[in-house]
Amino acid sequence: MNGFRQTAGVALTIARKDALAELRGKHAATSTLFFAAIVLLLFGFALGPDSRRLQEAAPGLLWLAIVFAGLLAVGRLHLIETQDAALEQLALYPIDRRAIYAGKALSGLAAMLVLGIVLLGAVAILYGIDLAGAWPALAATLLLGCIGFAAVGTFYAGVTVRMAAREVMLPLLMLPVIAPLLLAAVKATATALGGDPFGELGAWLQLLAGYDIVMLIAGAGTYGFLLEE
Amino acid sequence: MKTRVVGIIGLVAVVAAAVFGLFVVPADLNQGDAQRIMYPHVASAWLGYLSFGVTALAGLLYLWKRDLRFDAVALAGAEVGVMFTAFAIWGGMMWGKPVWGTFWQWEDPRLTTTALLLALYVGYLLLRRLTDDPSRRATRAAIVGLVAAIDIPIVHFSVIWWRGLHQTATIGDPSKLLHPSAPPLFIIALMSMLTAFTFVWGYLMIRRYQLARIDWQIEEHGRLGRISAARRAAAANAGRAVAPALDARTEEVAP
């Protein structure tokens, strides 16, 4: 139990450090949000101006924007660790490696949630979608989707961060792996917005939760090997 | 020598199975000659999955034993697997056009899963190519291969759901792909093609493994060469630095 409390403490400290760094260097976070907003705007140009078509496609567009901007966000959270060999120093501490993974995943989750909430609002405004009755289901979808993205993203950002071609390799490796997440999150969002006439929402949320658990275990179990490099 | 025998058996067997599948077995009543594509298609799809299984297992063994030979097996599995999987998708599309009327059928969970599988392992191979240090490459590849292997069942399962939650997954049943009640001749054709392909697969796996070991030796040789070259250069520099001082001393001593 003590070990667990120590691990959780380390994870929280790392996440807090990342959040502070992100808040103090405001530009990076804002530019990611702007990038995502521009993506949503361009989707509108690609599919509009028929607003019905945009509304039908909105769940997919929302999650694609989250995925694209999220790739930037999780990539950057690891990139800051390459400055002054921060990750190497982190790896030298006598702590559980899983705590480092958990901390990075936690700050990734925080970034993804901010991104998701802002983009959900932007989708509602830009594509004219009424979120009023659907928000509990949407909140659950967003939370589960962001947990999965942060779990997978932290792992692949760790794999690619020391590569010269990381900007290409991170999406290349990560996008096929998050295909089930994208699929389930889009379906859950569409079901939530459509009022769930067939009672499918629970199944999609379960799929998301199962994906999250599997990927968190896989990430925590393998991340330590990356720190040995 | 023994490896070559495996290769020759594979080649002869593939030709024999092709002749059998093309000329001995009658055409399918519904699908016509297009159905014959199924023999190499199913065989290569199975071997693709087997290869990626080998890669995941070899990756695990590498992480456990830290022996680069396991990494060479993992590489062989991924590369041979990508080849067989690409061939399976290509064959599937050639079959899909006349039978389904379209190259790409989004309704088929196996097609979508296999396409993602191919993407996963092309990424895996690129990751390997872009990492220079052998043990770092082996570690990264092993864990990425492992996570990819974990992801595959989830992908398959989610795509089946995605098609429609209320449908039963009858298409997921491999026997249905051949024919609902496949006559024995069809099954013999498929099994002989699978056997022939497995020999080819074994031959390619062994050869790719051997090639990976040779590559590793060349890399190692190059690294040792660079170290000794650096040593020689350092020694030469040191000699040059010492030499003028010696010259100066001899000048002083000389009258």
Q: What is the DSSP string of chain A?
A: -HHHHHHHHHHHHHHHHHHHHHHHSHHHHHHHHHHHHHHHHHHHHHH-S-HHHHHHHHHHHHHHHHHHHHHHHHHHHHHGGGGGGHHHHHHHSSS-HHHHHHHHHHHHHHHHHHHHHHHHHHHHHHTT---GGGHHHHHHHHHHHHHHHHHHHHHHHHHHTTSTTHHHHHHHHHHHHTHHHHHHHHHHHHHHHTT-TTS-HHHHHHHHHHHHHHHHHHHHHHHHHHHT-
Q: Quick: pLDDT tens for B99-127.
A: 888 888 777 778 888 899 999 999 999 99
Residue A60's pLDDT band, with cuts at 50, 70 and 90, is: very high
Look over chain A and give the mean of its residue pLDDT values, rounded to a whole number: 88
Q: Is the Cβ–Cβ distance between A181 and A46 less than 8 Å?
A: no
A1 or B166, greater pLDDT = A1
Predicted local distance difference test score (pLDDT) of residue B181: 56
- Full domain range(s) for residue A95: 2-227
DSSP A25: S
Domain count across chain A: 1
Residue B241's pLDDT band, with cuts at 50, 70 and 90, is: low
Q: What's the mean pLDDT in B221-249?
A: 73
Which positions in chain A touch B116 (Cβ < 8 Å)?
A: 176, 179
Predicted local distance difference test score (pLDDT) of residue A66: 95
Residue A68's pLDDT band, with cuts at 50, 70 and 90, is: very high
B170 or A208, greater pLDDT = A208
Restricting to B residues 183-242, those with a Cβ less than 8 Å away from any Cβ of A are none
Whether the predicted model's global pTM rises above the 0.90 cut: no
Which positions in chain B touch A165 (Cβ < 8 Å)?
A: 130
Asked if the C-beta of B140 comes within 8 angstroms of chain A's C-beta atoms, the answer is: yes
Chain A positions with Cβ closer than 8 Å to B: 155-156, 159-160, 163-165, 169, 172-173, 175-177, 179-180, 183-184, 187, 198, 200, 203-204, 207, 210-211, 214-215, 218-219, 222, 225-226, 228-229
Q: Say how far apart CA B83 and CA A118 lie, in whole Å.
A: 43
Residues facing residue B28 across a β-bridge? B32
Predicted local distance difference test score (pLDDT) of residue B166: 43
Which positions in chain B touch A164 (Cβ < 8 Å)?
A: 130
Contact: B139, A229; criterion CB under 8 Å: yes
Predicted local distance difference test score (pLDDT) of residue B253: 45
Q: Quick: pLDDT tens for A165-216.
A: 888 999 999 999 999 999 999 999 999 888 777 778 888 999 999 999 999 9
Which of B116, B147, B165 shows the shortest C-beta gap to A179? B116
Contacts with B224 (C-beta within 8 Å, 6 or more apart), sequence order:
none
Q: Is the Cβ–Cβ distance between A75 and A105 less than 8 Å?
A: no
Which positions in chain A touch B136 (Cβ < 8 Å)?
A: 229
Task: For the beta carbon of residue B99, count every other beta carbon within 10 angstroms.
Answer: 17
Residue B249's pLDDT band, with cuts at 50, 70 and 90, is: very low
Rg of chain B, C-alpha, whole Å: 27
Q: Quick: pLDDT tens for B29-61.
A: 777 777 888 888 989 999 999 999 999 999 999
Tokens of A83: 């400055």
Predicted local distance difference test score (pLDDT) of residue B254: 43
CA distance A102 to chain B (A): 17
Domain range B2-219, CATH architecture? Up-down Bundle (1.20)
Question: At which residue do the structure tokens 């001393």 appear?
Answer: B249
Contact: A165, B142; criterion CB under 8 Å: no
Within 13 Å, how many C-alpha atoms sit on residue B254's CB side?
6
